[in-house]
């Protein structure tokens, strides 16, 4: 059947001036084109870093969003030039929307200044004259682009789309700091409120604020550029201290998510008094993670607003995603620590040890090779469990005898190496003698060989000299220290 392309353009575009939104204009265009073209037809518009399908027909499914340089549609958008593909099997960029497609025409949707804002895509499964359809599609796309621009441009990214984008950033965050930064940015952008902070009940974290022992509530790491309100909130919460943070976290977990009503003249809940003192007039508070180790996400504004329930739901989804990613990072950190540590004593072992001695400074870094005297006799006489208890007790005693910054590694069954920084060789000998005394206090003795790397000496050669010094102690009767010759 011969197609009157002038009529197609007239009929497709006649209703465009009546469209009240960009999405409506795209849907009318697709519906009208479908009356003349037995094809899969779609309009994709740019939103941030994606081409989003806003209208489509003629297929079982379509791709919801496409990166701007992916597929024929992405190529056309990036180049602002039309593409006519008579045989899609020969084009490596083709995205398979339906299995029987044979040909494709894709044209850019341009604003009046000639900038691409999207694409109009038609895909056929039967014979078609592509040349006339290309010209028709370009004329339709030109009118569509002008109407979209007159209506204010492509539709803005929805809040759910923003959340999906930020969820990908949370999943890709390599560190806890990056994760918290991404979560706070997401909370601000998705909620449209001006400030956000994370309260955490404790656990692993960067810097000195990481908790030890019982979880101590703490403020999550701030973003690179906290706004004025966020800075005031952080200052008030820091001054209020851990008990106040604990009360806020407990309230969120005890009663669930909450939000302010935007009504003036009402006193805040006592748990949130520090926030009110910082100037907060609008607040969304949602629990994060489990009650016994999670936290709370606080999203706030100094304007008097009334967040809708959808905003609260989105913040709950964000909090859940953030906690899942945080728990994954902490699990990976524990696994890495376990991989780097001796499971019996908790000391680091051969892998990290090799990395550490590779950074040894000639004349300044001392290696103290340590061997437990008579350990085999303990194992043979009292059993391996007794030997394990001895090693654990001795490891704790040796660690306690070292200085801040000194490192102790278990490199074999009853073999340890301490890596220490010193200013003179006799300082290393004194520390080795302190270790020997610590061992005696446990009822055991050790032999210690000391060596400092010479200039250009390979680390394994320095360690070999420390071992030789250790065996010199053994030959002299054990329970002593010997410094290897330079």
Q: Are strands 295-301 and 415-421 parallel, antiparallel or unpaired?
A: unpaired
Question: Is the pLDDT reported for residue 239 higher than 90?
Answer: yes
Per-residue pLDDT at 480 exceeds 70: yes
Pairwise CA distance, residues 176 & 220, whole Å: 9
pLDDT of residue 439: 95
Find out whether 163 and 186 touch, Cβ atoms under 8 Å. Answer: yes
Q: What torsion do the CA atoms of 120, 123, 126, 131 make, to the nearest 10 degrees?
A: 40
Res 339: pLDDT: 61
How confident is the model over 12-64, as pLDDT tens digits?
889 899 999 999 999 999 999 999 999 999 999 998 888 999 999 999 888 88
pLDDT of 428 > 70? The answer is yes
Looking at residue 335, its pLDDT comes to 67
Per residue in 287-324, pLDDT tens?
999 988 899 999 999 999 999 999 999 999 999 999 99
Query: How would residue 206 be classed by pLDDT, with cut points 50, 70 and 90?
Result: very low
Tell me the three state secondary structure of residue 57.
Answer: strand
The pTM (predicted TM-score) of the whole model is 0.61
Cβ-proximal residues to 206 (8 Å cutoff; 6+ apart), any chain: 175, 176, 177, 221
In this prediction, residue 338 has a pLDDT band, given cuts at 50, 70 and 90, of: low
The pLDDT tens digits of the residues spanning 177-187 come to 899 999 999 99
Q: How confident is the model at residue 219 (pLDDT cuts 50, 70, 90)?
A: confident
Please state, in angstroms and rounded to a whole number, the distance separating the CA atoms of residues 469 and 337: 31
Q: Of 472, 422, 427, which is closest to residue 447 (Cα–Cα)?
A: 472
Cα–Cα distance measured from residue 419 to residue 244, given in angstroms and rounded to the nearest whole number: 43
Mean pLDDT computed over 414-432? 94
Asked whether residue 164 carries a pLDDT value surpassing 80, the answer given is yes
Residue 342 pLDDT more than 90? Answer: no
Task: Tell me the pLDDT band of 212, cut-offs 50, 70 and 90.
Answer: very low
Judged by average pLDDT, the poorest of 267-276, 322-331, 349-358 is 349-358
Find the mean pLDDT for residues 257-280.
93
b (16+ CB within 10 A) / e for 21-33: ebbbbbbbbbebb
Give the residue-averaged pLDDT of 357-378.
91
What per-residue confidence (pLDDT) applies to 165? 86
Q: What band does 208 get if pLDDT is binned at 50, 70 and 90?
A: very low
Q: Considering only CA atoms, which of 4, 2, 5, 1 is closest in space to residue 140?
A: 5
Which pLDDT score is estimated for 215?
A: 59
222-236, 342-356, 442-456, 462-476 — which is least confidently predicted?
Answer: 342-356
23 Cα distance to chain centroid: 33
Domains and CATH numbers, the chain: 5-150 (3.30.450.40), 159-337 (3.30.450.40), 350-483 (3.30.70.270)
Instruction: Categorize the per-residue pLDDT at 286 as very low, low, confident or very high, splitting at 50, 70 and 90.
Output: very high
* pLDDT averaged over every residue in the chain: 90
Phi and psi, residue 95, nearest 5°: -100, 120
- Of 170, 230, 227, 167, residue with least CA distance to 198: 230
- Residue entry with tokens 């550029």: 225
How far apart are alpha carbons 396 and 459 in whole angstroms?
Answer: 26
The whole-number average pLDDT for the span 87-115 is 94
Confidence category of residue 370, pLDDT binned at 50, 70, 90:
very high
Mean pLDDT confidence for 438-451? 95
- pLDDT tens-digit readout, 386-421: 999 999 999 999 999 999 989 999 988 899 999 999
CA distances from 141 to 12, 22, 80, 137 (A): 10, 13, 12, 6
Closest CA to 482 of 473, 421, 367, 454: 473
Least confident piece of the model among 65-69, 88-92, 238-242: 65-69
- What percentage of residues in the chain have a pLDDT greater than 70? 94
Specify the pLDDT at position 380: 87
Are 481 and 433 contacting, i.e. CB atoms less than 8 angstroms apart?
A: yes
């Amino acid at each position: 059947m011969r197609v009157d392309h002038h009529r197609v353009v007239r009929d497709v575009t006649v209703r465009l001036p009546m469209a009240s939104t960009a999405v409506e204009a795209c849907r009318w265009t697709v519906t009208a084109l479908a009356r003349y073209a037995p094809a899969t037809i779609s309009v994709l518009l740019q939103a941030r870093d994606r081409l989003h399908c806003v209208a489509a027909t003629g297929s079982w499914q379509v791709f919801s969003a496409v990166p701007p340089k992916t597929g024929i549609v992405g190529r056309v958008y990036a180049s602002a030039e039309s593409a006519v593909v008579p045989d899609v099997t020969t084009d490596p960029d083709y995205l398979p929307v339906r299995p029987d497609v044979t040909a494709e025409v894709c044209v850019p949707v341009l604003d009046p200044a000639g900038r691409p804002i999207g694409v109009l895509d038609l895909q056929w499964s039967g014979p078609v004259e592509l040349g006339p359809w290309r010209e028709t599609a370009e004329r339709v796309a030109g009118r569509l682009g002008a109407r979209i621009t007159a209506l204010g441009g492509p539709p803005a990214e929805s809040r759910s789309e923003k959340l999906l984008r930020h969820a990908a950033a949370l999943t890709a965050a390599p560190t806890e700091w990056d994760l918290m930064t991404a979560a706070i940015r997401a909370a601000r952008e998705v909620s449209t409120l001006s400030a956000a902070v994370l309260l955490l009940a404790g656990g692993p974290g960067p810097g000195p604020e990481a908790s030890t022992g019982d979880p101590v509530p703490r403020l999550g790491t701030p973003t690179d550029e906290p706004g004025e309100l966020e800075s005031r909130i952080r200052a008030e919460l820091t001054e209020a201290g851990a008990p106040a943070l604990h009360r806020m976290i407990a309230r969120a977990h005890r009663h669930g998510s909450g939000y302010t009503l935007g009504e003036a003249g009402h006193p805040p809940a006592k748990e949130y008094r520090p926030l009110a003192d910082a100037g907060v007039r609008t607040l969304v508070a949602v629990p994060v993670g489990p009650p016994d180790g999670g936290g709370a996400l606080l999203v706030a504004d100094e304007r008097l607003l009334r967040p809708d329930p959808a905003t609260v739901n989105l913040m709950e989804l964000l909090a859940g995603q953030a906690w899942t990613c945080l728990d994954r990072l902490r699990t990976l950190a524990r696994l890495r620590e376990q991989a780097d540590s001796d499971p019996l004593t908790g000391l680091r072992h051969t892998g990290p040890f090799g990395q550490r001695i590779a950074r040894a400074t000639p004349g300044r870094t001392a290696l103290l090779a340590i061997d437990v005297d008579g350990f085999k006799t303990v194992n043979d006489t009292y059993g391996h469990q007794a030997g394990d208890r001895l090693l654990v007790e001795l490891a704790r005693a040796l660690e306690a005898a070292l200085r801040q910054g000194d490192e102790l590694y278990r490199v074999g069954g009853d073999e340890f190496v301490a890596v220490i920084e010193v200013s003179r060789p006799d300082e290393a000998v004194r520390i080795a003698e302190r270790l020997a005394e610590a061992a005696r206090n446990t009822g055991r003795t050790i032999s210690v060989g000391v060596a400092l790397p010479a200039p250009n000496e390979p680390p394994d050669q320095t360690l070999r000299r420390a071992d030789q010094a250790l065996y010199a102690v053994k030959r002299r009767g054990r329970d002593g220290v010997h410094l290897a010759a330079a």
